[in-house]
Chains A and B, each alone.
Chain A
Amino acid sequence: MKDLTFGPFAAVGKATEDILASLGKFGEFFIEILRSLRDVSTWSPLLVQQMRRLGVDSIPISLFLAMFTGVVLALQASYTFTGQIPLYFVGTLVGKTMMLELGPVLTGLALSGRVGANIAAQLGTMRVSEQIDALETLAYNPVAYLVVPRVLAGVLMFPVIVIFANALGISAGLVTAVNLLDMSTQDFIRGLRLFYAPFDITFSLIKTTSFGLVITVIGSFMGFTTRGGAEGVGSSTTRAVVISSMLILVLDAFWAVVLLQ
C-alpha cells in the first residue's frame, strides 16, 4: 500500500540519489586524474603514442567532415543571400560559421564517436578482464597509466585537428564559391576578412580544448566504471558517446554565453 502511494516519489528520490552518486564518483575520478598528473614518469612515455592514436589518426575523418561542411555552407549562403545582399557575404558566413561553430562542434561530435567510444571500449575491456586490477597489483597507478595520457592527448591534439578542419572547411567553401557560384577569389576573401576578429580563432581553440577534455574524461570514466562483461563494455561505450555528445552541445552553449556576450 505504502509502495503504491509513495512509489513515484521513491522512484524520483532514488533517481536523484543515483545521479548524485554518479556525479560524486565522477568528481572523485576527475580529481584522481588531476592528482595523477604528478606521476609524470608513468604517463609521459605513453603520451606520444596516444597523441598519434587519438589525435593524428583522427585527422582524416575530421577533414572529410570539414570539407563537405565548407561546400554546403557556401552553397547555402548563396541560396540565402539573394537580391540586395552582396554575394561576398558568402565568404563571411563560411568563415565565421566554420571557425565559431561547425569546425569545433562537428569535429567534437565525430571524435566523441571515434575517440570517446574507443577509450570507453578499450578501458572497459581492460576493466572487465581485470587488466586494470592487474596494473594495480604491479604497483601502477592505472589512472596515470591509462587515463592521463589519453586526456592529455585529447586536450593537446583536438585544437590542432580543429585548426586543420577550419582551414580545409574554409578552403572548400572558397573553391565552391569560385567554381560554382561565379564569385571571384578576391570577393570571397573580402567577405572572409570583413568581420574577422582575432578572437574568432582563440574562441575556436578554447572550445575545442574543452571538447577534447570532455570526450576523453567521459570515455575514460565510462571505461573505468564498466561492469559485467561484453554487454557492460557495450553499454559503457554507448553512454560515453551519448553523454559526451550532449556535453559538447552544452559546453558549446556555455562558451557562447560566457565568451561571446
Chain B
Amino acid sequence: MRLKNEIVVGMVVVLGAVLTVVGAFWLSGRPWGESQRELVAVFVEVGGLRSGNPVKFRGVEVGRITKIELDPSVGGVLVTMDVSPRAELPVDTGVLLTSASLFGDWQAQIVSRAAYPDEQFTGGNPPGVLPGATQPDITQLTAVGNRIASDLQVLAQRVELAFTEETALKIRETIENVEGISQQLAGFVDQQTNVYHDVSQNVLAAAENITQTTARVGRVATEVEAVFVEGGEVQRILGNVRQASQNLEDLSIRLDQATAGIPSLVSRADTTLGDLGHLAASTADLLDSVEPQVHEIGPAIAEMRHGIATLERTLARVESGDGTLGRMVGDPALYEETQATITALRRMLADIQANPERYIGAVRIF
C-alpha cells in the first residue's frame, strides 16, 4: 500500500511538473528546440507593449518580447526579444512598435528603416542595440476615416476625367455606399467609446462629419445627374457644390479645433483634415472642368468604372462576413493596407507643406 502510494503520488507530481513546463512553453508560442537570437532595441516609450507580445518580420511571427525595462543610461526603454535566427535582419534594421489589433494588444515589427521615412527612430544607440520607433495608438481609429477620404479622393480624380450620365449614376451609388460605410464607422466608433473614452469622442465627431459630408456630396451628385437627365441649370448646381465645398472646409476647421486640445492627436487629425481638404479641392476642380462643358470623355469611362469597381470591392470586403466592421478589424490584410494608407497620406501632407505652390492651383476655390 505504501509503495503504491509513493508510485501514484510520484507519477502525479511528475506529470504536473511536465504539464506546467510544457504548457507555459506552448502558451508562449515559441518554436520547439530552436535556439533563439536575442535582440535589444531602445524606444522613447513603448505604448501598450508587454512581455510575451509577438515579434514580426515581414508579417511573419518570428519571436516574442522577453523583457521591458527602463534604462536611464540610454534615456529610454530597453526592450529585449527572442527572435528566430531564420529572420535575416536588413542592414538598416529598426524595430517598430505598433498595435496588432484594435483591442490593445501590441506587436514589435522588425523593419528596414528606409521603408518608414516618417517614423522617428531613436538614434545614437550603444552598439548592438537597435533603434526603435513607436506608432501612436489612435492610428487605428483615424485610419478608417483616412481610408474613406482617400477613396473619395481617388474617385473624384477619376470623375474629373470622365463624367457622363452613366457615371453620374454610378457615382451616386458609390457615394451612397460610402455614406453607408461612414454610418457604420460612426456606429463602430460609438462602440469603441467604451475602450478609448475621451479620445474616441473626437474621432466620433470626425466620423459624423464625414457622414454629413458624404451625404452632401451625394446630393450634389443627384443634382449633377438631374442636369444630364433634364438638361440645364449647371450654374445652380455649381453653386450648390461650392456651398458643399464651403461646408467641407468648415468641417475641416471644426475638426481641427476639436482635436487641438490633444497634442498627440493633432498630427493624426491634421492628416485626415488635409485629406478632406484635398478632396474638397478635387471636387471643386471637377466642377470647374464641368462648368465650360463636358467634352469627349468616352474613352475614360473604362478607367472610371475600374476605379468604382475597386471601391466597391473594398466595400464588399468590408460588408462580407455578417457585414460587420469587426471582421475588417480582424482581417490583417485590410489593417496593413490601412496602415500603408496612413503613411502615404502623411507623406503627401508633408509634401503639401513643403511645396504649397504645387497645390495652389488646385485649391483656388478656397
Contacts and interface: CB of A to CB of B under 8 A. Distances in A.
Nearest to A51: B9
B115 interface: no
Interface stretch (B22-30, B204-212, B225-233, B234-242): B22-30
Interface of A is mostly: helix
A167 B21 CA distance: 12
B6 A84 contact: no
Contacts of A166: 23
A167 B27 contact: no
A55 B9 contact: yes
A86 B330 contact: yes
Interface in A152-169: 156-157, 159-161, 163-164, 166-167
Contacts of B20: 163, 201, 205
A48 B5 contact: yes
B105 A85 contact: no
B77 interface: no
B16 interface: yes
A95 interface: yes
Interface string B102-114: 0101000000000
B13 to A, nearest CB: 6
Contact of B27 (A52, A163, A192): A192
B326 A85 contact: yes
B12 A55 contact: yes
Interface in B310-366: 324-327, 329-330
A194 B16 CA distance: 24
Chain B interface size range:
20 to 34
Nearest to B192: A84
A260 to B, nearest CB: 13
A48 B8 CA distance: 9
B12 A84 contact: no
B243 interface: no
A197 B103 CA distance: 17
A16 interface: no
Nearest to B1: A49
Nearest to A192: B27
Nearest to A86: B330
A66 to B, nearest CB: 13
A48 B4 CA distance: 10
A91 B6 CA distance: 37
Contacts of B101: 86
A233 to B, nearest CB: 26
B5 A193 contact: no
B326 A59 contact: no
A167 B2 contact: no
Contacts of B51: 197-198
A89 B277 CA distance: 39
Contacts of B17: 160
B267 interface: no
A99 to B, nearest CB: 9
B180 interface: no
A52 B12 CA distance: 9
B136 interface: no
B120 interface: no
B18 to A, nearest CB: 10
A86 B29 CA distance: 20
Interface string A76-103: 0000000111101100000100000000
A89 B104 CA distance: 12
Contacts of A51: 5, 9, 13
Nearest to A52: B5
A164 B9 contact: no
Contact of B12 (A160, A194, A198): A160
B105 A164 contact: no
B52 interface: yes
Interface string A191-235: 011111110110001000000000000000000000000000000
Interface string A46-60: 001101100110010
For B6, B52, B327, the residue with the greatest tally of chain A CB atoms inside 10 Å of its CB is B52
A83 B105 contact: no
B52 A56 contact: no
Sort A-B residue pairs by CB-CB distance and give the 4 closest, nearest first: A160-B16, A84-B326, A86-B330, A52-B5
